[in-house]
Structure 1
Amino acid sequence: MDYRELKFPKDSLFLVTGGAGFVGSNLCEAILEMGYHVRCLDNLSTGHIENIESFRGNDCFEFIKGDIKKYDTCDMACEGVDYVLHQAAWGSVPRSIEMPVFYAANNIMGTVNMLEAARQNKVKKFVYASSSSVYGDEPNLPKQEGREGNRLSPYAVTKYECEEYAKQYTMHYGLDTYGMRYFNVFGRRQDPNGAYAAVIPKFLKKLLQGEAPTINGDGSQSRDFTYIDNVIEANLKACLAPSSAAGQAFNIAYGGREYLNDIYRSLNIVLDVNIKPKYGPNRPGDIKHSLADISKAREMLGYEPEWSFELGIKAAIEWYKQNL
């Protein structure tokens, strides 16, 4: 089912935190296309104003430049809101190892501020971004909710703690919370720049420029790469999920497995180049393999991802060709 067919009450107002970022701006765009109202909260620390520039003239769109570390800002942003899609966070496993205190303040306290503001403003549903990094060193595949290992980075700890706080807000205050454990999301508007950029946009940018990208490790790592439209579907379906599913976290992925070396070879073929990659050291805190069991999200949220890796990578390549 196409997420555009989902129905919400007329004049529904969605708050998207981190709405100028990669996932957030795609959520804003999808909700506006469906005819609902969007309020975007972002401090533009990692998001880009260019991602939301095309929405600024839309009467159904409102932008607040503000920081989730400030409770008053969160409270103001939640006023009159029906659904919160909380995407604001600092990503990157290696960067979190360098900046643990900042990550705790931004990701954990920022999320608690948003949960409290949503509760006080009687928001219907609170859907938030978690991460597959919460599985840590748990070796079994596929990754299954309730079977987590030791977290391997401060980033992973922040995401796990956010899940625990969200569970408390459902348990004690009746706020319907739904955690989206994203697995390696990719697609349009994902930033290819910077030391901590995700692997697919980084590969594409370098190859389109005729340069050799660096693969961390030997390239034998595997990932459950998840196209952005699957993530949009999951967030919107969570907003319509029953309260019986609240207080839980769900794997949001396609349920497939791709190896970095294979992806790199495929991109060379599709782009009609033959550029040998450089290989660098493994990144600290990275998980070797990931593959998601998505049966819980399928059963409890009605999540049915339609975008395979093959379909998604074709769409992503076309976008980067036109926008890099």
Structure 2
Amino acid sequence: MKQSILITGGAGFIGSNLCEYFLTKGYKVTCLDNFSTGHLHNITPFLNNPNFKLIEGDIRNIIDCQEAVSGATFILHQAALGSVPRSINDPITTNDVNVSGFLNMLVAARDAKVKRFVYAASSSTYGDSEELPKREDIIGKPLSPYAITKYVNELYADIFSKTYGIETIGLRYFNVFGRRQDPNGAYAAVIPLFVKKLMKLESPIINGDGNNSRDFTYINNVIQMNELAMLTNNKEAINTVYNTAFGDRTTLNDLMTSLKKYLSEFDPQISTIETIYGPNRSGDIPHSLASIEKARKLLHYNPQFSMQQGLQEAVAWYWNNLEK
């Protein structure tokens, strides 16, 4: 019998990539999404797959959660309202989705006796900690409502593991990018936003002086981490959290240089576009770099895509799939 995976937020950027990957591996996949930030076009290719089921529902509704977890062996919980600026503008909705919705999913998973609950945690949990590289056991104070919600997720998961015996693993994502990441909307992530601007021959805006750095992590590395977390039989590896990253950092200025280089292979004009610099964003941390030693040791994580390799693939995908 095929094992069944519930992927919440399965119509989103990361979720749809997980749906696609595990369908190709022969799993039965259920996608739960309310399409507030996900898109039907991300999962349209799977709709006729007999192993794929779509439930249009909301994690804030416990009934939807209970329906979605029915029969699931594993849960890969991706559903959340991302974006630090969004959480600053609307902390109540961010909390409702990311905390109350997360708790609903944990309760539904507990009651359905799901084998393992793997969830998207966040590097924002490191907050004002200045230590580099970031190690899982040392965090600072959160710098945004979003960061608070993602830290609360870790606390809830830990309590549910200890109190109810649910196996949980949190993956602290570091600036994930790649195919299907949405360049549109007020809270688009930096790479697709820059790509869209450059493809339109418009000047991208960098917040700050461009020397802020991030551990940009290609989607394929994130898929690998989800699979390892889901399937590990190492007892020491469960009921904890892991950095999910490549383990290298890139400044925004260097990112812009690379994007212009790769995109100018499609349109030479792009290499001449000037960059505009704006004010720093509230809630942003200056530097982010992950230690991935814990994941290497306990999960045998071995990321296959460097930032540059991922960027080349992502740029080609955007060139072929975005309206110019």
Matching residue of 2:314: 316
Where do 1:125-164 residues align within 5 Å? 125-164=116-155
Per-residue deviation, residues 147-206 of structure 1 (Å, max 9, x unmatched):
101100000000000000000111111100000000000000000112211111111111
Mapped partners of 1:107, 1:310: distance in 2:
31
Mapped partners of 1:285, 1:190: distance in 2:
22
Shift of 1:245: 2.2
One-letter amino acid of the counterpart of residue 210, structure 2: G
1:63 corresponds, among 37, 54, 65, to 54
SS in 2 for 1:52: helix
Matching residue of 2:282: 284
Give me the TM-score of the superposition, normalised by structure 2. Answer: 0.96
Mapped partners of 1:270, 1:246: distance in 2:
39
Which ranges of 4 or more aligned residues in structure 1 deviate by more than 6 Å? none
Q: Which moved more, 1:85-94 or 1:260-269?
A: 260-269
Mapped partners of 1:170, 1:311: distance in 2:
37
Is the Cα–Cα contact under 8 Å of residues 107 and 159 in structure 1 kept in the other structure? yes
Matching residue of 2:245: 253
Mapped partners of 2:273, 2:2: distance in 1:
51
SS in 2 for 1:122: coil
Shift of 1:98: 1.2
Where do 1:72-91 residues align within 5 Å? 72-91=63-82
The percentage of aligned residue pairs carrying the same residue is: 55
Matching residue of 1:7: none
Mapped partners of 2:255, 2:98: distance in 1:
31
SS in 1 for 2:272: coil
One-letter amino acid of the counterpart of residue 275, structure 2: P
One-letter amino acid of the counterpart of residue 57, structure 1: N
**Alignment gaps of 5+ in structure 1:** 1-9
Verify: 1:263 aligned to 2:255, yes or no.
Answer: yes
Mapped partners of 1:291, 1:167: distance in 2:
24
Shift of 1:269: 2.1
Shift of 1:244: 2.9
Matching residue of 1:4: none
SS in 1 for 2:133: coil
Matching residue of 1:6: none
Mapped partners of 1:290, 1:155: distance in 2:
16
One-letter amino acid of the counterpart of residue 281, structure 2: R
One-letter amino acid of the counterpart of residue 88, structure 2: I
Mapped partners of 1:271, 1:232: distance in 2:
25
Give me the TM-score of the superposition, normalised by structure 1. Answer: 0.96
Verify: 1:306 aligned to 2:304, yes or no.
Answer: yes
Mapped partners of 1:250, 1:269: distance in 2:
33
**Alignment gaps of 5+ in structure 2:** 265-270
Mapped partners of 1:95, 1:20: distance in 2:
20
Mapped partners of 1:109, 1:301: distance in 2:
29
Where do 1:187-266 residues align within 5 Å? 187-241=178-232, 242-266=234-258
SS in 2 for 1:46: coil
Is the Cα–Cα contact under 8 Å of residues 69 and 113 in structure 1 kept in the other structure? yes
Number of matched pairs: 315
Where do 1:172-191 residues align within 5 Å? 172-191=163-182
SS in 2 for 1:291: coil
Per-residue deviation, residues 212-257 of structure 1 (Å, max 9, x unmatched):
1111111100000000000001011101123332221110000011
Shift of 1:263: 1.2
Matching residue of 1:27: 18
SS in 2 for 1:276: coil
Mapped partners of 1:137, 1:195: distance in 2:
25
2:102 corresponds, among 100, 111, 130, to 111
Shift of 1:281: 1.0
Mapped partners of 1:197, 1:191: distance in 2:
6
Mapped partners of 2:297, 2:231: distance in 1:
13
